[in-house]
Amino acid sequence: MIRDFLTVTWKEWREQLHIGGGKRGTILRALFSIGLLGVLWPWLIGPAFITTAVPIVFSIATSAMYVAAIVPDSFAGERERRTLETLLASRLPDSALLLGKIAACWSYGYLASLAMLAVGVITVNITHRAEGPFFFPPLTLFSALVLAALAAFAMAGAGVLVSLRSATVKQATQALATGLTLLLLLPAVLAQVAPRTWNNFVDWMGSTESPFHLLTRLGSALVLLSLVLLAVARRRFSRARLLVDS
């Protein structure tokens, strides 16, 4: 099972690395991302990028964003490029196919997020070398690493679920984008519709500035969400259904 899971993850990674015209395209895309998120942002924010709660939010956002960029391709891409049936006709078990694809998206998003954090630290220490050196407080770093991993996993689970049911990558991307937009609008809607509930929630979340509380509360929510998404995806994954829908 582990071997099959790693095989699927290996294939997904190879495909990702070949997007955009091989090695040159991959390197250019990576340089653009690093320039924007690893250099420009930390440079503009300065030491606060390291010493405050910013890295936690940054790592959560970037990991989820990177996952969201590739996860629509997971099953919808196979369906669109007519490779799904051959994949399903292989000996790879259902769980390896599903978890392998989730793991590939998760690892891609998480590693990209970590890379951006690392480059960000270097950038701030170079641009503010007179005031430095700077490094993340241990609990902040730990919270950023754990929450980024959980956010990436939740996004991978949600994305795979959407991709399973979509005919094309475009359709999956649109569905995922709509879902994320609604999720981002939810606080504003809640604040309008039920201001008391929303304020209580905000108070609860922000009852302390300690990253530990953010870690436990947001982390618990993300774990719960991930488990629900994984269970639903596992339940909806059926070779016959995937073929009939394609």
| Sites for another protein among residues 51-110 (CB under 8 A) | 81-83, 85-93
Smallest gap from residue 210 Cβ to another protein (A): 45
| Helices 211-236 and 54-70, axial angle in degrees (round to 10) | 10
Q: In the complex, what is the shortest distance from the CB of residue 33 to another protein, in angstroms, rounded to a whole number? A: 19
Distance of closest approach, residue 28 Cβ to another protein, in angstroms: 16
3-state secondary structure of 82: coil
- List for the chain the helix, strand, coil content (%; round to 5): 85, 0, 15
Q: With respect to another protein, which residue has the nearer C-beta, 10 or 204? A: 10
Which residues in 193-217 are b (16+ Cβ under 10 Å) and which e?
A: eeeeebeeeeeeeeeeeebeebbee
CA separation, residue 117 to residues 137, 177, 198, 227, 237 (Å): 13, 25, 31, 27, 35
Q: How far is the CB of 30 from another protein (least distance, A)?
A: 17
19 binds another protein (CB under 8 A): yes
Of 1, 130, 193, 240, which one interacts with another protein (CB under 8 A)?
A: 240
Can you tell me the distance from the alpha carbon of 40 to that of 44, in angstroms, rounded to the nearest whole number?
Answer: 6
Cβ of residue 62: shortest distance to another protein, in angstroms? Answer: 24
Q: Which of 22, 132, 133, 195 binds another protein (CB under 8 A)?
A: 22
**Binding pattern to another protein, positions 189-228, x when CB under 8 A?**
----------------------------------------
Q: At closest approach, how far in Å is the CB of 243 from another protein?
A: 6
Kindly tell me the burial class for residue 159, based on how many C-beta atoms sit within 10 Å of its own C-beta (0-12, 13-18, 19 or more). buried
**Residue 26 vs 171, nearer CB to another protein:** 26
Longest CA span, the chain = 63
Q: Which is nearer to another protein, 26 or 127 (CB)?
A: 26
DSSP tally for the chain: helices H, then strands E? 13, 0
- Please report, as ranges, the residues that interact with another protein according to CB under 8 A: 3-4, 7, 10-11, 14-15, 18-19, 22, 81-83, 85-93, 239-240, 243-244
